[in-house]
Amino acid sequence: MSGLERLDVVVVGAGPAGSLAARAAAEGGARTALLDHRRELGHPVQCGEFVPSARELADLFDAPGLIEAAFDVPPNTVLRATRYMTCVSPYGHRFRFPLEGWTVSRRAFDKALAVRAEGAGAELRYPVGVTGVQGRTVRCADGSVLEARVVVGADGPISTVARSVGFEPVRTMFRMITATVDGPLTDGIDLYFGHAAPHGYAWYFPRMTDANVGLGVTELPPGLSLDRLLDRFVADAGWEAGRERTRWWVPIGPPPASLVFGSTVLAGDAANLVMATNGGGIPTAMMSGWLAGEAAARHVREGRPLARYDDAWRAALYAPLARAARIQRWGDRVSAFDPLLALGMRYIGSSGLDAMMRLRWPARLGRNP
């Protein structure tokens, strides 16, 4: 590519947020390009690869129309259906509750969502790295320049687009590491709290023939690296040493006030829209991406103010995400001290942990919603 090219909508990042944004924009009649700097979409996998079912998601966010439009998990990417989540205390007490979902192949999932966007008419271009956005101008690493009436920044937690527009949210970064192990192939997923991942959590998510394990922490204990923490977690559980390791970030924190910056909008991790109590960001990326793409198309086709994107994502996502951020901050205070954490987990019990994973306060704490 060379020279200046004019488009209606340029979406930066072909993860779940970007692909849903590109699909919605293209379906809305906007001439749309979807750019990603990866050579292979979805790879390397930097994810636990768990998604809840649409029915579970509807219990977290009161947005049935949006969930139906945006949260459609490609069936051929599903590796295992799961029915339970178990939260494991530092001393091994297990608190189990129903949670319906799937482990998916993120490698296949991201590709499938991008192909759907292409099917809707978006032009998928990769590897194309974006180096900066200035107003309507998108600069790419290959020297090409695009001009877009709307730019959607969906380029993940270390977002070039967000930095370009001066977006500086209040946020905490989870440092994450993930790996593959051979372990039991159950119909539930497990989260571990306490010394396994102080100020965070570790996980075991069974896939078709192996399992995705990993952990995320907001701060590393003195003298310990992410790899050392993972080695310890895997050894304590008796699994083989985790292979295919990757490391990445998850941004948590309260949702921002606005995601519209002139002719640029942000979605997904770039917008800090992660569920702070469970670290899940795929569903919120898909939903915010869809709304961003829809708002972009309406802006281009009907002259609707882009600010309507703020109204839309705030109505659907803001309150549960803000509550989850408050709950996470509260929980974080006890999460690095095993005896207190174990006591707290016993006190709130399975129903309280279930509530927290669903972005709600445990009933036993008697807090208002």
Ligand X SMILES: Cc1cc2nc3c(=O)[nH]c(=O)nc-3n(C[C@H](O)[C@H](O)[C@H](O)COP(=O)(O)OP(=O)(O)OC[C@H]3O[C@@H](n4cnc5c(N)ncnc54)[C@H](O)[C@@H]3O)c2cc1C
Rounded Cα–Cα distance for residues 104 and 127 (Å): 24
Rounded Cα–Cα distance for residues 232 and 332 (Å): 21
44 upstream amide cis, omega within 30 of 0: yes
Q: Smaller CB distance to ligand X: residue 131 or 364?
A: 131
Residue 38 Cα distances to 15, 35, 225, 270, angstroms = 10, 9, 27, 17
Told to check if 169 binds ligand X by CB under 6 A, we report no
Q: How far is the CB of 17 from ligand X (least distance, A)?
A: 3
Q: Smaller CB distance to ligand X: residue 323 or 344?
A: 323
Told to check if 269 binds ligand X by CB under 6 A, we report yes
Return the range that interacts with ligand X (CB under 6 A); candidates 42-50, 190-198, 218-226, 297-305.
42-50
Told to check if 18 binds ligand X by CB under 6 A, we report yes
Told to check if 313 binds ligand X by CB under 6 A, we report no
Q: Smaller CB distance to ligand X: residue 17 or 356?
A: 17
> Which secondary-structure segment (H or E) carries 296?
helix 282-302
CB atoms within 10 A of CB 241: 11
Out of 24, 25, 33, 35, the only residue in the binding site for ligand X (CB under 6 A) is: 35
Closest by CA to 328, choosing from 361, 302, 369, 365, is 361
Tell me the two tokens of residue 323.
Answer: 């509550």
Told to check if 16 binds ligand X by CB under 6 A, we report yes
Out of 36, 190, 310, 354, the only residue in the binding site for ligand X (CB under 6 A) is: 36
Specify whether the CB–CB gap between 43 and 107 falls below 8 A.
Answer: yes
Q: Smaller CB distance to ligand X: residue 35 or 150?
A: 35
Rounded Cα–Cα distance for residues 292 and 321 (Å): 17
Specify the amino acid at residue 128: V
Told to check if 285 binds ligand X by CB under 6 A, we report yes
Told to check if 293 binds ligand X by CB under 6 A, we report no
Told to check if 13 binds ligand X by CB under 6 A, we report yes
Specify whether the CB–CB gap between 12 and 35 falls below 8 A.
Answer: yes
Told to check if 253 binds ligand X by CB under 6 A, we report no
Residue 303 Cα distances to 23, 149, 250, 297, angstroms = 19, 11, 35, 9
Told to check if 362 binds ligand X by CB under 6 A, we report no
Specify whether the CB–CB gap between 127 and 37 falls below 8 A.
Answer: yes
Told to check if 282 binds ligand X by CB under 6 A, we report yes
Told to check if 154 binds ligand X by CB under 6 A, we report yes
Return the range that interacts with ligand X (CB under 6 A); candidates 7-15, 78-86, 90-98, 336-344.
7-15
> Which parts of this chain interact with ligand X (CB under 6 A)?
12-18, 35-38, 46-51, 129-130, 154-156, 160, 176, 178, 214, 248, 250, 268-270, 274, 279-282, 285
